[in-house]
Amino acid sequence: MKIPFKRDIPPRAVLAVIALVLLASVVAGSEIARSPAPAEGQKETAPAPRPVAAPAPASAPVTEADSDFAKQRATLAPKEKVTDLFATQEIARTPAETERPKAPAEPPLPFKYLGRIIEGERTTVFVGHNEESYALAPGDTVERLYRVERISPDAVIFRHLPTGKRQALALREPN
């Protein structure tokens, strides 16, 4: 069956118009069903305005449990436990992982005591390291790693500069 129009109308457009007409009739029909029908012998008048519900008193607030939304949500709520994919999770760590990292340990003193010279109150100590020998007095720095803090009759006190820790080299006469 072809509809006699001057222009061809796509079938989808015809179906859309029909669907809109049916929807409008359903909505109009439900409005008519809500209004009371006139009694026999009465004229049909304009529908009376619907009464407006008074706002709820301030002393009785509407709770979520009373709302339709809460009832719908309760019926749609899943019955089994749902896992939250975006929840943060605790990762079990071994005791070695939970310990704080230790400060870098200073290496053992790389110096070998070679001898000393005492001139009055000034003491100069000779030490060896990697085929090098050094004459050291208090305040001297060796290889930018060690500074001589003081020289006592029994030991030379070095400060390891990267860690700030003190180390002692015992003064024993070489064999």
Q: Count Cβ atoms within 10 A of the Cβ of residue 160 and give its class: 0-12 exposed, 13-18 middle, 19 or more buried.
A: middle
- Closest C-alpha among 152, 144, 109 to residue 129: 109
pTM over 0.85: no
Distance of CA 47 to the CA centre of its chain: 60
Residue-wise pLDDT tens digits, 75-84: 666 666 767 7
Q: Where are the domains of the chain?
A: 112-170
Extended strands (E) in 63-110: none
Residue-wise pLDDT tens digits, 76-125: 666 667 677 777 777 776 666 666 666 666 678 888 999 999 888 888 99
The pLDDT of residue 72 is above 80: no
CATH number of 112-170: 2.30.30
Q: Count Cβ atoms within 10 A of the Cβ of residue 171 and give its class: 0-12 exposed, 13-18 middle, 19 or more buried.
A: middle
Classify the phi-psi angles of 59: left when phi > 0, otherwise alpha if psi is within -120 to 50, otherwise beta. Answer: alpha
